[in-house]
Each structure stands twice: as C-alpha cells, then as structure tokens.
Structure 1
Amino acid sequence: MKKFSLKKSYVILMIFGSFATLEAFDIKYNGWLESFSKIGFNNQPIDVNLGRYPTDTFVNVIGSFGFLGNILPATIQNHKLFYGFSVAGGSMIVDSSSKQYPGGANSVNSEYVGMWLGYDLQGDPATKRHYYVFNNAYLDYTLGNFADDTLSFRFKGGRYRSSAEYMSGYTQGFEVAFRAKFSDTQSLNLWWFSSYGRAFAFGQWLIDFYSPRGYMSNGKFINNGIHAFKATYSFGGLDVIPYVYFSPGTYLAPAIRFVYDTNREFNNQGFRSQTFINFIAPINERGIGKYRYGDLVERYTQNLFIKQQFNYNNYNFGLGIYKNFGNANAWIGTNGNPLQSVLDFWTASSYDLGRSISDMIGKDAITPFLFVGGVHYRDKVAWGIVGRFSESRRSQEQSIAGSIKYKFEGGLSVGAKIEYYNDITKEGYRVGSNGDNTAANGPYQPTTTTSTTSKNIADRSHAFVWVHYDF
C-alpha cells in the first residue's frame, strides 16, 4: 500500500486560512506552549555488564499554533463541516542521556522528542531528528446532533487527535460514525477507524508521523494500516461494546467491553458507580517465536482489564486489575491502551524496553491497583494518588504516585507528579536491551541467560513538573 498523502488537504486548508471571511465560514486561531520536565532520582553510573542504568532526566519546551472553524454558514443548522490545521514544534533543552547536546547521537531520551526514523522506520536513530510536526490537517463533517437527534452521521479525515483507545496520539487516516437513537435511554453507535500513521505533539512527546505497524518484506515496505470497528449498544446505564482492532499481516484482536454507569449525568454532586470490564484476545500473525518487549511473541494471547470507580460529590476512588495471558501487548496495547486512563506505563528507564515502558505490558503480567482523587474550587484544582503492584516474567514493580494540577484564569495551568517506583529485574534478564532489533530475534530481545545475570533492583522514582499555557 502506498504511503497515505495529505498534500491536497494542506493546500485546501491553506487556501481556507488565506481567503477566509466571516460571511463564508468562521476562523479561530489557537495554540499552546508547554514546558515539561522529568527529574529522575537515580543518578547511578552506567554498568552495561550488570545492566545498571540511571533514571532519565529531561526538560522539553514544546509549542503549537493553528486555526480551525466551520466552513458552512451558521444558517445551516443540521450540517457542520469543521476544518483544522496546526503545527507543533520545540526541543529537548536538558537531556541526561546525551554527552554531546540534548537529542545528540547517543541520546536515548530522543525517543521522547525529535527521533524520527522516517515514515518507514528504516532511518538512522543516531542522526534522524524532526523537531516539528504538522499534527492537524483535517476535515470533520457531521450530520445531525449525536446527543439528541434520532439519526446522526460523522466523517473525519486527515491528520487529527486520535479518538481510538488502542491508538493514542495523532492519527493519519479517517473515521466514520453513525448513531441511531431509539429512546432517551436506548441507542446504537457504529464506528469505523483507519489509520496509516501516528505522531505525538504534546509537552512530553514530539514525534513526527511514522507507520507504527509497517514492516519490510522482501525489500519492500508494507503499510497495511491499523483499523478498528466498534458497535456500542446503550440501554439505561449499560453499554455493551463488541469491537475489533486489526492490522493485516500483523494481528487481529477481537474484543468485548461492558460499562455500567449508575449516573450518566453526574456533575460532582451525589453518588456515582462506574464498572468497566474489557477483554481483548489478540491473535498475532507476525513475529511468532521472536522476542518483543523482552518476551517471545505467541500466536494466541488475551488481556483482561477490570476497573471499578466510585464518585461521591467531588471525590473519586476505586480499584482494578490488568492481567495479560501471554505476550498480549506485543503488537497492540502499547500504541494506546484504556489502562492509561488510570496508570501511566511509560515511566521506567529510557535505557530499557522502548520509551521507558513498564512491565505492566509484559508476558503474563498481573497488575492490581488502587486510586483516589478529587476536584475542587470549580474544577480549578485536581489531585490524585494511585498505587500498583506488577508481577511479570521479567520483573516485579511497586509504585505509588501522587499528582496535583491547578488551572489559573486566562489559560495557564501548572502541575506536578511525584512517584516512588521500585523496579526489580529478575535473574536472567538485563536492563539495556533498548533498540536491539536483529533479524534473528526481533526487537527488544533479552541479552543474557539465567546463568550470567543476577537480580537487579533499580530505583525508578521520579518527578514530573509542567507549565502549560493555552491561547
């Protein structure tokens, strides 16, 4: 399949921006600027033989500017044709992993900001850098009101913020949605999603578009995309959601989800209970018998995610469990995951598997967790505490994190998180296999055997601090 091109979309949107008048359609300018810092508390020297590495530290300054609006006149009530265009750019200004300069040739933190191996992922990780991304360039058509009308329809295409739970960040593709409302308490939603590229444009991450599940075959780059279909039947407070994600030639992942909400109209007053049960069964087609994220890829795998949350006025608390059967996240679950609504699994070491990925996603891993939080002062202050224990074949992890965020008037917000994180790599595995992508063993293979590597206890405790301004 040829690379998905958006050049025509860029031309159309630039024409809109250049010749827009209020009589034809509206145009609004927007943007944001953010400073994001991660401070690692473990500064031990690197010992490759023992698999000992520090916890990474970095500081980013990222910003974005763009415009959006409705192309159709305001007199047309039932049809909306929105457009949007924006570019994001910035740099890492502090990088503990680079001896040269932030994002230098030896940097592993560049996987957060700047590293770009090309759309086909075949570039040189030591030299390829992109410090900008055209993250929005889309058209978004809606017919009817999805909340109130009996029938409604939507099409969105181009580059835009992804709404797919297993495809986070920005997507390059399209989605189609249809909703039939049978009564005030009963409806059916159908949704199709196709993506041929992914990017990041946030304070913590800045990565240009690439093909997350593209691969080389007989010297030819294959990009079959990532696709999903979901049907949501809602009756009262219950949602029954059968769905499937797939990337032809790589994986097929049928799934089902149940969500029960006792108070859909909850607005920080009274009591609410939300039960979330998600079961997905990835069937892997590529990389069988090879290593990915430190474990062998199997054909048949499963994952079960259960979360129970209670709200009482402006407080929330709950518990849950995330359980893998086999290497269920080998090809799906790391590009996006509903687990990230409560747990961040990108907080380990940049020197290890992927971009600081936790072994919550590892083979046969189990992660029970507890959380509590609240919002105050007309939603200006939000805080949360979450604790977890993770056990996998490769490691054992214990973590407790507390965060707080404050919104000022005029678009300014500040936030911080501090996390205690104890990471025990078990005998036979070694930290530092980041980027090993040999043809024989596949990416992220273990680099030693049980006879040569002892257990390693690492402090991955760290803090996040961010300052964000919207304009």
Structure 2
Amino acid sequence: MISLKKTIALSFCLVNIANAFSYKVSGSMAEFSKVGFNNRPINTALGYYPTETFVGVTGFLNIKADLLPKNVYNHSFTAKLGVMGGGLAYDGTKTLIDQATGKPFGSMMWMYYGAWHGYYGAGGWGTNAANGINNAGVGGYQGNQWMSQHTHNILLNEAYIEYGYKKIFRFKAGRYAGNAYFMDGYTEGFEATLNLKNFTFWWFSSFGMSWTYDEWIYDYFAPIVTTNKKGKPVNLGIHSGSVTWHKKGLSINPFFYFSPNTYIAPGIQVTYVHNIPLSHRRHLSIYTTAMGFFPYYNPKDAHNIFYSSYAGTSAQMFLFKQKFTINGKYFGYGIYKTWGNANAYTPYTDPELIGFNFWTNTVYDWLSAANMNANAFTFHAKVGGHIRKLSWEILGRVTTSPRANEGAVNLDLAYNFSRFVTASLTLEWYRAWLHHGYQVGQSFSSVYNPAFKATSQDRSFLMTNLHFKF
C-alpha cells in the first residue's frame, strides 16, 4: 500500500506535469528471448543444470516535463514519471524434472521477470540462513513455486525531479537510472554534481535499487540490509562520494563507497584519452582506464557467503582496459582481478566498467559469470565497428578462479531499422568448468564442500531483442 506521504508527493508531481510549460510522452515495447543450447536434465545431487530458454515481452510508458518557462535561461527543472510491465510468452524451465528426486524443479523465470523477495529480502543474500527458499540448489520446487507466485510484473520504475544550473550544478532525486560504478540499474535516492573549473564533485545516496529493462523486471528492494539495536532489519542505504580532476584528456578520480554497519570501500580511477591525427582527416583515439577498489567489511559479517566464499574482512580489485578506435572500428582488451571477495557487497557492478556483459551464466547459477568470484582473474579482448546501420562486435574472455574456470566467445550484432525500431542478436559459446568442492546453485549457501565433484557444463546460448519505441 502506498503511504499518504508518497501519495501526496506523487499527486504533486502529476499536477506539476499537467500544468508544465512543455512535456513529452514516450514509450517502448520489446521482445527478448534466450535459447540455451544445453538441455541436459537437472540433477541436483550431481550438480548438473541446463541453460534456460525463454521469451519475454515488456512495455514502458513515460511522461517527462519541463517545469520552467521557456524564457528562463541557465536553469532547468524537469520531472519524469515512468511505468513498465511485462512477463513471459514462453517459459522453458517450467516443467523440468529434477532427476535426483523425480519431482518438478519449478520455474526459474522469476529471476528475470518479476523477482520479489520482499523489500528487505534481496538484501539478505549472503546471510546463509536467508537463502533457504531463494537458492536454486537448496530451495528447489517449493522455493521456486513461492517466488513464481509472488512476482511483481508492473511497477513505477521512474519518478524523479532534476534541477540544473548551467553546467555547474545538478541535483536529482527519486527513482531514476543510476550511473554509479557499483550500482548498475535503477536507484531510489538522490545525487548531486558540482563542476568547478577542472574539478567535479559528486555525491550519491541510494536506499533502493531495481532492474527494469527489456530483459529484466526486478522491483525496488533494499540493496544492503542491516539490523538496529532491537534486531529489526533496517535500510541505511549505500552512499558514495568522489572528486574528479580532469585536464587535457587525463582524469583522476578518487572515490569511496560505504554502507553503515556493513562496509567502507575507498578506490581510485584514472582515465586518459589520447588522440593521434592521421592522414585523410582521420585520427586514432586511445582510451585507457585503470581502477583500484579496496573494500573493508564489518567483521561481524565475515562469515556471510557470496559466490561460494566467505566475505572475510577485506578485499581488493584491480581493473585495467584499453580501447583503440579508428574510422568507425575499434579494438580493445582488459583485465579484471579480485583478491578476496571484492564483490561481496557490491555485486551490481556496471558491465560497461568491466568491459563485457557478465550476466550471461545459467539462471540456476544466479546468472553472474565467474569474474565476480573471489580471487578471480579475467582477461578479455574484443574487436568491433559500424557499417552504416549495423554495429558488430566479437569478444572473447577467459576467467580463472578457485570456484570455476570459464571461457567464452560471442558475436554481437545490432541493426537500426529506423529511429523507432532496432534489433540485436548475441550468439555466445560459453563453457564453465566447476572445480571439485563447488556446485551450480550453491553460490550463496555453501563454501567449499568436498562432497561436490568437478563438472564441465555448456552455457552457450542465442539471445535476440526486438525493440520498438515511440
């Protein structure tokens, strides 16, 4: 139920939009499908799982308004409301049988479309006992049936106001698409940016996050949950601040993230853009990025489990990547290395930061690739370009970690039929080698277990996306 305060705030936004000096209505509809090439039967005893096949449909409707008269200069004040919804047209996981029990395993599509563990539920991942009904390898049919019956398939994904003064100051609050390094998706909170000469100051606070895209419907939830003095769950948010110095293509950005009672994580990113003039009015651009990230965790949470490893009390991450572009074509490569469980409390890293989409694993293993594991090393390389309305990319990666090794090669194609219709396709060969002591589906409920045998599993797939907008 929406509270009185939220109702008044929402009504205020609607009244202002209705009386705005200008507004725009937009929307989109999309089809997203994934065809997994591994149809091996589920066997929870042996740790074998297929790669999912499904078709989903989503729709978005937005209204954005300028709330200042057109004769007001240097200032901007906008508001936006957006709703979205969708569901499954085909679910290939719904009727699969667990060979170990002879019983249905239950649909896993709630993880793509409609997942809702309760507002504090998803924040309980990694707290061992909280994973009983949510973990694919533990909860089984009962947990999956419960999740499928409690999905949220329609939601208010955007509701925000934004104020700006020239290119100097910007403030944004509400529900909106975030842009934080380690908070990919939509956020519920606020942020502020101040530009002064060669410096940019930025603050970000989030008290909820969501994924609402063609591939995902995931309602807002508390990303980090802790307890108060009475032992009740509370959401103290995730916060970040940074200062960026930039001049002549060089950018130095020290930053920090923290969530009270849970972690604090300083870091630094350095980027450099170098342009080299060539003949025939062409130029070579070289983009270089290096980042270090150093989270420290509350010792009381050291035994919480993430990616089949204890959180511990500290960890480190290092990222380095380069991209070379010339005449509409590019080549790039990168490394991503973790020492300890660096992604324990920041599992929502922006794939663009790392350099590739790592949410392509099987739904039975929580979708994330092995690069997110503790003590993992990943190298990737890619080449791509544009040919008129066609964009293409070929990317390969290898990952090693104590839990699993992985190798993948994918082809991405995207075509713009018009400014209203686009289509994309991803064909990926993907192999996962889980080491002795680890098993699919146990990422958030079990560390090394000598009873689990090593397995090799195919995760190859075909993805398609057809997107219409107006």
TM-score normalised to the size of structure 1?
A: 0.88
- 1:357 deviation in Å? 1.2
Instruction: For 1:319, give the aligned amino acid.
Output: Y
Q: In the alignment, what sits opposite 1:439?
A: none
1:96 corresponds in structure 2 to 92
Q: Aligned to 1:330, what secondary structure does the other structure show?
A: coil
1:223-279 residue CA offsets vs partner (Å, 9 max, x unmatched)? 01011101110011100000001111111110001000013999x952100110010
- The equivalent of 1:468 in structure 2 is 467
Tell me the SS of whatever aligns to 2:236: coil
| Residue of 316, 321, 343 corresponding to 1:329 | 343
In structure 1, how many angstroms separate the alpha carbons of the residues matched to 2:357 and 2:4? 30
- Report the counterpart of residue 430 of structure 1 in structure 2: 439
Summarize the Cα distance change of 1:388–1:28 in structure 2 as closer, same or farther, 3 Å threshold.
Answer: same
1:280 maps to 2:296: no
Q: 1:193 to 1:4 in 2, by over 3 A?
A: farther
Map 1:113-192; keep pairs closer than 5 Å: 113-121=113-121, 125-144=147-166, 146=167, 152-181=168-197, 187-192=198-203
The answer on whether the counterparts of 2:336 and 2:354 sit within 8 Å (CA) in structure 1 is no
Deviation (angstroms), 1:114: 0.8
- 1:49-82 Cα distance to aligned partner (Å, 9 max, x none): 1100100111110010010021001101111001
CA contact (8 A) 1:414 1:468 kept: yes
Amino acid at match of 2:241: F
Q: Secondary structure at the match of 1:262?
A: strand
Q: How does 1:66-77 map to 2 (within 5 A)?
A: 66-77=62-73
Q: In 2 relative to 1, CA 287–106 (structure 1 residues): closer, same or farther, beyond 3 Å?
A: farther
Deviation of the 1:95 alpha carbon: 1.7
Aligned to 2:112: 112
Which stretches of structure 1, 4 residues or longer, exceed 6 Å deviation after superposition? none
Alpha-carbon deviation of 1:118? 1.7
1:426 and 1:172 mapped to 2: Cα distance? 39
Unaligned runs of 5+ in 2: 97-103, 123-132, 134-145
Q: Give secondary structure in 2 for the equivalent of 1:399.
A: strand
What is the one-letter code of the residue matched to 2:106? N
Q: Name the counterpart of 1:235.
A: 247
Q: Does 1:208 align with 2:222?
A: no
1:125 is paired with a residue of what secondary structure? helix
* Other-structure match for 1:198: 209
Q: Is the 8 A contact 1:269 1:314 kept in 2?
A: no
Inter-partner Cα distance in structure 2 for 1:338 and 1:25:
38
Q: Within 1, Cα distance between the matches of 2:5 and 2:464?
A: 37
Map of 1:445 onto structure 2: 446
Please give the alpha-carbon distance, in whole angstroms, between the structure 2 residues aligned to 1:465 and 1:366. Answer: 29
**How many Å apart are 1:113 and its aligned residue?**
0.7
Residue segments in structure 1 that go unaligned for 5+ positions in a row? 147-151, 182-186, 435-442
Structure 2 vs 1, CA of residues 418 and 338 (structure 1 numbering), >3 Å: closer, same or farther?
closer
2:275 counterpart of 1:263: yes
Deviations 1:361-420 (A, max 9, x none): 11100001111111221xx22111110100001000000111000012241000000000
In structure 1, C-alpha distance between the alignment counterparts of 2:408 and 2:282, rounded to whole Å: 31
- Conservation of the 8 A alpha-carbon contact between 1:165 and 1:338: no
Deviations 1:188-242 (A, max 9, x none): 1000000000111111001111111124565412101011101110011100000
Aligned position for 1:438: none
Is 1:369–2:380 an aligned residue pair?
yes
Q: Measure how far apart 1:111 and its partner are.
A: 1.0
| Identical amino acids, percent of aligned pairs | 32
- Contact 1:6–1:158 (Cα < 8 Å) also in 2: no
Residue in structure 2 matching 1:298, options 304, 308, 312 = 312
Q: Does 1:82 align with 2:93?
A: no
**Shift of residue 319 of structure 1?**
1.1
Decide whether aligned partners of structure 1 residues 219 and 243 sit closer, same or farther in structure 2, where only a CA change above 3 A counts.
same
Q: What is the rounded CA distance, in whole Å, between the counterparts of 1:207 and 1:66 in structure 2?
A: 18
Deviation by residue 1:105-147 (Cα, 9 ceiling, x = unmatched): 9322211111211212189535311101201111000011x2x
Out of 233, 249, 263, the position equivalent to 1:221 is 233
What is the Cα deviation at residue 96 of structure 1? 1.9
Contact 2:59 2:85 in 1 (8 A): yes
Aligned-partner Cα distance in 1 for 2:50–2:37? 8
Deviation at 1:7, TM superposition (A): 3.7
2:16 partner amino acid: F
- Could you tell me how far apart the structure 2 residues matched to 1:85 and 1:339 are? 26
1:253 aligned to 2:253? no
| Alpha-carbon distance change, 316 to 244 in structure 1, aligned in 2, over 3 angstroms | same
Contact kept in structure 1, 2:203 and 2:240, CA below 8 Å: yes
Letter in 2 for 1:113: Y
Equivalent AA in structure 2 for residue 468 of structure 1: H
Q: Deviations over 1:337-370 (max 9, x none)?
A: 3555621111111112x3x111111110000111
- Structure 1's 75 and 105: CA in aligned 2 closer, same or farther, altered over 3 A? farther
Query: Contact 2:277–2:283 (CA<8 Å) still a contact in 1?
Result: no
State the partner residue of 1:149.
none
* Residue identity in the other structure for 1:305: L
Query: Once the two structures are superposed, what CA deviation does each residue of 1:157-194 show, in whole Å capped at 9, x if it has no partner?
Result: 0111111121111110000110012xxxxx11000000
Q: Contact 1:256–1:279 (CA<8 Å) still a contact in 2?
A: yes
Q: Which amino acid aligns with 1:35?
A: E
